[in-house]
Amino acid sequence: MKRRQFLSLAPAAGLATLPATFARAHGDAPHALPQAQRRAVGDITVTALSDGGIALGHAPLQGISEDNYAAILTAAHRDPGNFLSGVNAFLVETGDLKVLVDAGTGGAFGPEIDNLPANLAATGIAPADITHLFATHLHPDHVGGAVRDGMAVFPNAELVVHDADRAFWGEPANFTAMPEMMQNFAALAQGVLTAYGDRLRVFEADDEIAPGLTAMPLPGHTPGHSGLMIASGDDSLLIWADIVHVAPVQLARPEVTIGFDVEPALAAATRALLLDRVATDRLMIAGSHIGFPGLATIARAGDGYLAIPAAFDYGAA
């Protein structure tokens, strides 16, 4: 599917009104304890930070019936009518550098999902301490929290983003005839790019972002959608961003795509290749939309895969 075809299908998929309807918090009251969890990767510390949870449902998925969707979630002991996908970001501390991988929604999908600032503060890290903001892509649930009132939330951070995403989302002409939702997505991305101005750094391939941190382009979901490989000594972890959105379904059925994919066929191909790699290599992954804290290893299961949650890292707690 071409990008313009995807954008034109947004209303038919029910996506034009989605931001106002799919936001769900983990509870009506603020959580009493911070939703932050640390993990050591060699000499590097990775802290998972929850921004909240969203109920996507079956509607935006492509290539699976509602009955099969419900059957997979039921088999995974999840409620098909109330399944929440996590919205996770990750703080990576290496040496004196503090790299925030994605910035949460910033309330872009409603005030119920805007927990990242409090969870980051609970770790003792202030916005001014962040040295790099690595944007896996420029969707609002990943960079909405990078700006407030048009100003950069992280005043000293370098914004790092794939050049293909900068070019696509940063060009207003790409969206003039598009549905309102997509125009809003693009406007937010453009506001983020403008706010960071001369602190914008683009990459095009598997560039080193910081010592031990290497970008991994994973195109399809957006043109510049990218993961971040973290390696220290013999240990490694891949933050794979939006490889899955409804994890039990898209792991069991990797061909299933979502209406937010700019190029669904490419997104599915990227997912298939990466799932084969991480399962073969037994590489731990961190997912933006896997239930908090989003850390897992991937195992083969029949024609698909399943996620095995990572054991809690008591040493990094």
What's the confidence (pLDDT) of residue 159? 98
| Interval 171-183 mean pLDDT | 88
Contact 56, 22 (CB under 8 A): yes
Contact 299, 103 (CB under 8 A): no
What's the confidence (pLDDT) of residue 21? 41
CATH 3.60.15.10 applies to domain 3-25+33-316:
yes
Distance CA 169, CA 172 (A): 7
Contact 83, 119 (CB under 8 A): no
Widest distance between CA atoms in the chain? 52
Read off the amino acid at residue 182.
M
Q: In a 3-state reduction of DSSP, which class is residue 266? A: helix
Contact 50, 119 (CB under 8 A): yes
DSSP conformation letters of 171-222: -GGGGTTS-HHHHHHHHHHHHHHHHHGGGEEEE-SS-EEETTEEEEE-TTSS
The structural domains of the chain, with segments of one domain joined by +, span 3-25+33-316
Q: In a 3-state reduction of DSSP, which class is residue 166? A: helix
What's the confidence (pLDDT) of residue 20? 43
Contact 163, 203 (CB under 8 A): yes
Take residue 95 and report the two structure tokens written for it.
Answer: 């040496």
Q: How confident is the model at residue 32 (pLDDT cuts 50, 70, 90)?
A: low
> What is the percent of the chain with per-residue pLDDT over 90, rounded to a whole number?
83
Read off the amino acid at residue 202.
V
Read off the amino acid at residue 51.
D
Question: Does residue 293 have a cis peptide bond before it, meaning omega lies within 30 degrees of 0?
Answer: yes
DSSP H/E element including 4: helix 3-8
Residue 2 has pLDDT above 90, yes or no: no
Distance CA 118, CA 123 (A): 9
Contact 182, 176 (CB under 8 A): no
Nearest to 44 by CA among 233, 313, 173: 233
The pair phi, psi for residue 211, each rounded to 5°, is -55, 125
**HSE-up of 19 (CA within 13 Å, CB side)?**
20
DSSP H/E element including 66: helix 66-75
Q: How confident is the model at residue 36 (pLDDT cuts 50, 70, 90)?
A: very high
Nearest to 58 by CA among 40, 37, 41, 74: 74
Taking only the tens place, the pLDDT of each residue in 102-141 is: 999 998 888 889 999 999 999 999 999 999 999 999 999 9
What's the confidence (pLDDT) of residue 177? 86
Q: How confident is the model at residue 9 (pLDDT cuts 50, 70, 90)?
A: very low
Cα first-last separation, the chain:
44
| Interval 60-76 mean pLDDT | 98
Taking only the tens place, the pLDDT of each residue in 280-317 is: 999 999 999 999 999 999 999 999 999 999 999 998 87
Going through 235-294 in order, the beta strands assigned E by DSSP cover 235-241, 257-258, 285-287
* Stronger pLDDT, 155 or 4, i.e. the higher one: 155
The rounded Cα 99 to chain-centroid distance in angstroms is 15
